[in-house]
Structure 1
Amino acid sequence: MVKFWRVLFPRRRVWRRRIVFIAFITFICVTVVRFLFPVPQRPKWADTAVTPSERADAVKEVFVEAWDGYYKHAFPNDELHPLLNTYGNSRNGWGASAVEALGTAIVMDLPEVVDPILDFIPTINFHKTRSTVDLFETTIRYLGGMLSAYDLLTGPMHHLARKSDGVDALLTQSQGLADLLKVAFDTRTGVPRKKVFFNNPQGNKDDANSVAAVGTLILEWCRLANLTGQPEYRQLVEKAMKPLLNPRPRWTEPIPGILGNWVNVDTGLITDAWGGWGAGGDSYYEYLIKIFAYEQSRYTAHKDRWVMAADSVIKKMAETPDGTDLKFISSSDGPLLAHQTGHLTCFAGGNFILASKVLNDTRYLDFGLELTRSCHETYIRTATRIGPETIRWSPEELNEKQLQELEENGYATLHASFSLRPETMESYYYAWRATRDPKYREWAWDAFVAIVTHCKMRNSLAPINNVNTVRWNWKGGRQESFLFSELLKYTYLIFAEVSTFYQFNYVGENEWVFNTEGHLLKVEKPW
């Protein structure tokens, strides 16, 4: 080998070796850079898909590609890590992406995806996990996903229920999981613990839970109670909600209807006054109106709390940044406002629009559309046309670059990442269904194309580090399971007119409501 090398590169021509070595190292470096920072590629169908049906097909194509990537490299684990095509188990290793994808595959009428998931779900052993179990996350993802699939496959999409034992297992597994989760409610007040051990109840000692985590159980557990005929499931969550419907002490509700974010599970007392419609409180407010839509005769107190909170948002928590016509919901610290908001809060536009139809009140429709338009503006003002994680419209604690952005846009980006969040698309969905104004379809298409362009990585979608960077954008993290259950489902339903029977604001009676993870549940009484 040495002789061969010297024949090719004799000592008197050492420079040739150096050139070859430099070229080799350059090739390796370029390959690594191109792998880590691929050039964004606008999808071919972005400009050719014009009609609603063509765009719905494009969304379905992206769903199938993302599913195939997960199924090949990560199934039956929880989620795919797109960068290296590895997997993670952030949701106890029970196959979160598969369970969350099922409802969307049913809605999209994809038996080739539905069948293997129906085969898989009966094999899940919910007793087996290496980590604590998060009651909130498990309820909205697993319980909500299985109950939704059961409702769909025993209802309007029954033609996909080619394996009756697999459909029956959806309800059986839901009940079995809920029976395991009941240990979380074993507290003095009935307010559940946030995380629990199934096999070691003595280890369940967390005394604090978030208002969102406590208040975002009632829809799924009530649906389970109705399907199984077991009122205990309903009674558990109704008891858990009581301290949130009658909050104490009084100082933790400085703005009417707006609670602090944390509750003590042993006393039932709210422990702070930092709250709002963002992280920590968001889906509590979302479920107040949704459980009323689910069963209006039983949950008027929840509706009244939603109205109180919503009116406070309109009067006291919605802010218009200087020099703009935008409107955002700020979080609060007691009676003061933080002058910032996040992508999570962009669900509120859709929630107000839903409430406007449930309550037949146009005030909430107008306000919801205004919130939705403002979130749209945060998308189209970035280099990628994707909205950032957090924005702020007060100059405190901003650097020079952020202050310049504040002057130009009326707000500055605090955290520029995008983790495949669905909240803005969710509000586009409600806005389109409520108004039938085609601009909302165009907004949704623009956002969808941008997300695929900048987040696509081989056969999956990945979070990006900076929505204001086009070329050198780090793509890492995990392909969250809510990509399947929320982002792609809402986008598809915006364009898939054929699926009218479970759409919001259907002509006639509304028979379905979405849980906070995008899973469709059949209501007790249509509205």
Structure 2
Amino acid sequence: MSFQASQSTTSWRPAQNQDFRKGIAGLGLSAPSMGGFFDKDRTLPMYKDKPFAPRRTAPRRWRKPLGILGIFTLILLWYFYYSPGLPAWKGADSSDRGLELWKWAQSLESAPAKGPADWDARREKVRDAFIVSWEGYEKEAWGYDEYHPVSGGNRNMVKGGMGWIIVDSLDTMILMNLTSQVRHARQWISTSLQYNQDHDVSTFETTIRMLGGLLSANYLSTKYPTLAPLTDDDVGEAGEDLYIEKATDLADRLLGAFESPTGIPYASVNLNKSEGLQSHSDGGASSTAEATSLQLEFKYLAKLTGEPEYWNVVEKVMEVADGQRPEDGLVPIYINPQEGVFHGNNIRLGSRGDSYYEYLIKQYLQTSEQEHIYKEMWDESLKGIRKHLLAFSKNAQLLVLGERPSGLEGSLSPKMDHLVCFMPGTIALGATGGKSLSEARESSKWSQQREEEILISKELMKTCWATYKTNPTGLAGEISHFILDSPPVMMADKYPIPSLSSKPKELPSISLPLTTQDDGLEPWRKDIEIHRMDRHNLLRPETIESIFYMYRITGDEMYREWGWEMFKSFVQHTSVVEEKQSKLSPGDVGTISRIKGFTSLDDALTIPAKKRDNMESFWMAETLKYFYLLFSDRDFISLEDHVFNTEAHPLPRFKPTGDLKTGWERKPAHTS
């Protein structure tokens, strides 16, 4: 498919001229004096039609020494700022944050600090953790898709790499105002990133991480030009063209995944051939969550470029999925791209099911609440979740969001993946539309049903927090199981559906408090089981994501404190510490410890925690981003003006116009 911009949109177009000023601004040197030194590793092409600034003439006797000095200065600048693999923090950010972070982590074992919380200082600690993570990646794995911080190893997923960690982390660096790090990443994207690999990649992961990352970087660099400002293009421009050009190239290649008989995307796609590939397992079926969680990215790209095909292909997916009118809005976790029908009966909001529901409400919010069909689908699914999946634990009445592996007629499995913990925040987001709870309650549209949604979000948030709080490390395992009554006490059985006509009133908490005592025999702890194979922690973001939403919406400082406790646990137990010999004083050589990065855990239930050797890209793209936003002002990247894709890449809300519309109607529903 060829790419053409609409006449009303030109933000994607490359700059007509290029002023190559990076690293030499203010030195009084013009580009010709470089003698082509930067041609190979320059950040962007040096356009030939850009006139160079006039050379500043020095007295003849000083010209040669000044020229030598200028060249030497430029070499140093290139070495410290642009040489691939060198830490971008050399120069402006030269303090050893790894050492300082390690010292701070050691101090956490002493008595907790007293007095009011300094949220700005706490946010800076998160920023420090990001910089340390990024520095380790720059030093040991620059350009590679995988980073193994314990061994210092690295690996690409496909030949040449996909920019997995760099692109996924890019908008976090912009939000944190890390200019030199963004510059280094942008240089690599310009000179090394390509999407013509003759290899299959995940349609879903490539869309949410790579396409979402590029689109978000494009948006943030233009909407917030004072964050990590770069001057790579024309004067006054933020240099957004690089990101959108890469994004459209990638999107055009991803379109091949949608060329199935039904329009349901194949699980994988060969980017070189733009050819979709069926899954090698599950009878060739695609994951339902993956097929239906591409919409935010492609719809925003359609709005940005004026190209309706990006919109239409992902809208077709939703029409086919909803056309089966799943019972009570709950969908099986597989869908077949050949026949366009759901595969199997397994219903869950964990892996392969989760973001289907997330993108229902977020598509509605992304389009400025214009596409009402998605709000209808969301409300229907939420009622189905309430009816079939929400139950109470036996001892503390923790609210549990379980699974139905054999369909809605089968038994409830009291199992919650960590992935399910995106749901508390998403429910609260759907209830208020991103507004503060106090403001939403003033609306004439506020109802008792919305009050119950807030209660559900609070109770599920407490359950997710309990899976962290119950473990010695303060970090959750990958999967938690819960002890229920037999038969389980379902929310639908215990609480009637709220009346729409009654006057809304706040509902009291249901579960017991998460109190602690010396013997560790609190009722809520007895309700949680973590099986041996489920003890690993992958630095996942879902719980802190929901805590972020809950704080932004309710304004309750308790959620910020929960987030702070969680962040400290990550620093204490997932950090990778290196020791080096250092000269402490004249004649005195000792060992200095510093944190060089963070890694996943094999076991979050033991101290010291058993470490894996892998840092997933979502650690920097999502987990640390949500911590940073949690400790920031509420209006910074506001929920009223943005939606976050399922990889935490913020995109703007907009009003769809012209050909950008749903264009289909729902079939009659199946209910039980």
TM-score after normalising by structure 2:
0.66
Alignment match, 1:354: 429
Query: In the TM superposition, what is the alpha-carbon distance from 1:48 to its structure 2 partner?
Result: 5.7
Counterpart among 294, 311, 314 of residue 237 in structure 1: 314
Once the two structures are superposed, residues 138-174 of structure 1 have per-residue CA deviations (whole angstroms, 9 ceiling, x without a partner) of 0000000110111111102455342344521100100
Compared CA separation, residues 127 and 354, structure 1 to 2 (3 A): same
Matched residue pairs, number?
468
Once the two structures are superposed, residues 108-146 of structure 1 have per-residue CA deviations (whole angstroms, 9 ceiling, x without a partner) of 111121111122222344334364111100000000011
* Cα distance between partner residues in 2 of 1:128 and 1:210: 25
* Cα distance between partner residues in 2 of 1:305 and 1:241: 11
Once the two structures are superposed, residues 431-482 of structure 1 have per-residue CA deviations (whole angstroms, 9 ceiling, x without a partner) of 11111111111100000100111000031110111111012x3212320110
* Cα distance between partner residues in 2 of 1:83 and 1:91: 22
* Cα distance between partner residues in 1 of 2:525 and 2:626: 32
Alignment match, 2:645: 515
Once the two structures are superposed, residues 60-116 of structure 1 have per-residue CA deviations (whole angstroms, 9 ceiling, x without a partner) of 000000000011111111131012111122477222111111111111111121111
What residue identity is the alignment partner of 1:380?
K
Alignment match, 2:463: 374
1:105-120 aligned at under 5 Å gives the runs 105-120=173-188
1:313-392 aligned at under 5 Å gives the runs 313-333=385-405, 334-335=407-408, 336=410, 337-358=412-433, 361-392=450-481
Once the two structures are superposed, residues 378-405 of structure 1 have per-residue CA deviations (whole angstroms, 9 ceiling, x without a partner) of 1111111111111122599xxxxxxx99
1:63-82 aligned at under 5 Å gives the runs 63-82=130-149
What residue identity is the alignment partner of 1:68?
E
**Pair 1:55-2:122 in alignment:** yes
Asked if the contact 1:340/1:390 (under 8 Å) is kept, the reply is yes
Asked if the contact 2:396/2:524 (under 8 Å) is kept, the reply is no
What residue identity is the alignment partner of 2:197?
T
Once the two structures are superposed, residues 292-330 of structure 1 have per-residue CA deviations (whole angstroms, 9 ceiling, x without a partner) of 001145422222111111112123211111111211211
Compared CA separation, residues 79 and 66, structure 1 to 2 (3 A): same
* Cα distance between partner residues in 1 of 2:558 and 2:524: 28
TM-score after normalising by structure 1:
0.84
Compared CA separation, residues 346 and 247, structure 1 to 2 (3 A): same
Compared CA separation, residues 363 and 408, structure 1 to 2 (3 A): closer
Higher deviation after alignment, 348-357 or 312-321: 312-321
* Cα distance between partner residues in 1 of 2:473 and 2:227: 40
**Pair 1:419-2:538 in alignment:** yes
1:300-319 aligned at under 5 Å gives the runs 300-319=372-391
Compared CA separation, residues 296 and 272, structure 1 to 2 (3 A): farther
1:39-438 aligned at under 5 Å gives the runs 43-44=105-106, 46=108, 47=112, 50-90=117-157, 93-129=161-197, 131-158=199-226, 160-165=228-233, 166-200=239-273, 204-206=277-279, 207-247=284-324, 253=326, 255-296=327-368, 298-333=370-405, 334-335=407-408, 336=410, 337-358=412-433, 361-393=450-482, 409-414=526-531, 415-438=534-557
Query: In the TM superposition, what is the alpha-carbon distance from 1:411 to its structure 2 partner?
Result: 2.4
Compared CA separation, residues 64 and 202, structure 1 to 2 (3 A): closer
Higher deviation after alignment, 63-72 or 164-173: 164-173
* Cα distance between partner residues in 2 of 1:409 and 1:466: 20
Runs of 4+ in 1 over 2 A off after TM superposition: 44-50, 88-92, 122-131, 156-161, 163-167, 198-207, 296-299, 359-363, 393-396, 404-408
* Cα distance between partner residues in 2 of 1:192 and 1:297: 26
Compared CA separation, residues 175 and 45, structure 1 to 2 (3 A): farther
Asked if the contact 2:253/2:272 (under 8 Å) is kept, the reply is no
Alignment match, 2:638: 503
Q: Secondary structure at the match of 2:365?
A: helix
Q: Secondary structure at the match of 1:103?
A: helix
Compared CA separation, residues 435 and 212, structure 1 to 2 (3 A): same
Asked if the contact 2:198/2:270 (under 8 Å) is kept, the reply is no
**Pair 1:477-2:610 in alignment:** no
What residue identity is the alignment partner of 1:470?
I
* Cα distance between partner residues in 2 of 1:113 and 1:91: 24
* Cα distance between partner residues in 2 of 1:231 and 1:288: 20
Larger radius of gyration: 2
Asked if the contact 2:362/2:643 (under 8 Å) is kept, the reply is yes
* Cα distance between partner residues in 2 of 1:119 and 1:45: 38
Please tell me the root mean square deviation across aligned C-alpha atoms, in Å. Answer: 2.4
* Cα distance between partner residues in 1 of 2:374 and 2:329: 11
Unaligned runs of 5+ residues in structure 2 are 1-101, 234-238, 434-444, 486-520, 578-595, 657-672
Alignment match, 2:604: 467
